[in-house]
């Protein structure tokens, strides 16, 4: 399980260190793609395969299903660690998530997310005010 919050910087070549706890879970390679809320989602190959199967089951006749599947898969790339535990994030993904220097890597159960520090702080600030309301609405899911 991915959990925790880590602060790292991305260099001018688009390389960022992935926390060692995450590297242990990911293996030698993993899948990185555009996520929701203007961040990147990182998955183990096992989790990616399960997600792929769920998305394949969506009806291609539905416009929203086609749009989401295109968005998700077109941004996906396989990442490999260098000897320093860094990965190079492709330019289109860096642009999408506005990753320029300071970044935040967070664990979210079966995936991890990479955020620009500014976007993460803005997201937290906005979400803080509604956290109790969100939690209340999730009571129906037996959480």
Res. 143 pLDDT band, cuts 50 70 90: low
Q: What is the pLDDT of residue 141?
A: 66
DSSP assignment, residue 35?
A: -
Structure-derived torsion over alpha carbons of residues 67, 31, 38, 14, reported in degrees to the nearest 10: -130
Distances in Å between the alpha carbon of 1 and those of 26, 50, 54, 88, 142?
A: 10, 15, 20, 23, 20
Instruction: Please name the CATH architecture into which domain 5-141 falls.
Output: 3-Layer(aba) Sandwich (3.40)
Q: Count the neighbouring beta carbons within 10 Å of the beta carbon of residue 17.
A: 20
Taking only the tens place, the pLDDT of each residue in 52-64 is: 999 999 998 999 9
Q: Count the neighbouring beta carbons within 10 Å of the beta carbon of residue 64.
A: 9
Is the model's pLDDT at 67 over the cut of 60?
A: yes
* Centroid of chain to Cα 3: 12
How many angstroms separate the CA atoms of 142 and 138, rounded? Answer: 7
Taking only the tens place, the pLDDT of each residue in 19-56 is: 999 999 999 999 999 999 999 999 999 999 999 999 99
Each as own residue / partner, the long-range contacts of residues 61-68 (CB below 8 Å, 24 or more positions apart, any chain) are none
What proportion of the chain, given as a percentage, has pLDDT over 70? 97
Taking only the tens place, the pLDDT of each residue in 86-129 is: 999 999 999 999 999 999 999 999 999 999 999 999 999 888 87
1 contacts 96 by C-beta, under 8 angstroms: no
Domain ranges of the chain: 5-141
């Amino acid at each position: 399980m991915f959990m925790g919050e880590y602060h790292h910087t991305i260099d001018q070549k688009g390389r960022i260190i992935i926390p060692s706890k995450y590297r242990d879970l990911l293996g030698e390679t993993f899948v990185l793609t555009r996520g929701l809320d203007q961040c990147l989602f990182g998955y183990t190959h096992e989790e990616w395969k399960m997600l792929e199967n769920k998305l394949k089951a969506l009806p291609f006749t539905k416009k929203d299903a086609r749009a989401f599947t295109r968005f998700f898969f077109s941004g996906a790339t396989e990442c490999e660690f260098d000897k320093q535990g860094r990965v190079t994030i492709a330019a289109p993904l860096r642009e999408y998530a506005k990753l320029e220097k300071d970044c935040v890597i967070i664990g979210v159960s079966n995936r991890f997310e990479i955020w620009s520090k500014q976007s993460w702080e803005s997201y937290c600030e906005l979400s803080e005010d509604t956290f109790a309301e969100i939690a209340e609405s999730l009571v129906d899911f037996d959480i």
